[in-house]
Amino acid sequence: MSPASVRRKKGKSVAPRSAPSLPATGRVVQPSAAPSEVTTETVAQSPDLPTPDHDRVLLGEIGGAQGLQGELRIRSYTEEPGDIVNYGPLEDETGARHIALASLRATPKGIIARIDGVTTREAAEALTGTKLYVPRSRLPARKEEEWYHSDLIGLAAVAPDGTPLGTVAAILNFGAGDLIEVTSPAGGASLLVPFTSDTVPEVDIEAGRLVLVPPEMVE
């Protein structure tokens, strides 16, 4: 698997795999790294849910400037962090700016990169927080029972009887498997549900929804 995707247990979500024409890449993982002791009660409601963009996939984010020569820290969401460079020029959130990674190196603190045209710390700082996307057309087709994170985030979550439960805000993994985070329009704590075929029996991307069965209802 490669950029952020998941596969349910008996199905879960996965990160995009490398395209055949690109060097070997890994899978993309979900943007935020969650603390190891987060529980359903401690996960706050996600503030602004992104509008799903099914034509592009999020591969990473610029974390900030590194040093004085224009280098930047990159949060990569590919399975192997350095594989983000294998997808060709990236795009910002608007799609108006193309960002080419001129060089990239791994350090104990993460990925450090140079971007074409960025040569000063000030120019690098101006890019802090920029999300890095790639057109979906560069990625291979996902396998059966696999979904990119970007396909799932923003879907409506409904109970088996059609009762609205909220919106998928994130796909998380604290080490024991993928979890769907669902936020309610009423606010309050998020609902975390394992991404399995028992608890998420139906994913309908075209209809913009998934069916969710809370764990306490699973026999």
Bin 188: left if φ > 0, else alpha if -120 < ψ < 50, else beta: left
pLDDT in tens, the chain (219 residues): 456 566 666 644 444 443 322 332 223 333 333 222 222 222 223 334 444 556 888 888 999 999 999 999 999 888 788 889 888 899 999 999 999 999 999 888 789 999 999 999 999 999 999 999 998 888 777 777 888 787 888 899 999 999 999 999 988 888 778 899 999 888 888 889 999 888 999 999 889 999 998 766 655
Beta pairing, strands 156-158 & 164-173: antiparallel
Does this model's pTM top 0.85?
Answer: no
Domains of the chain: 31-50+147-217 (2.30.30.240)
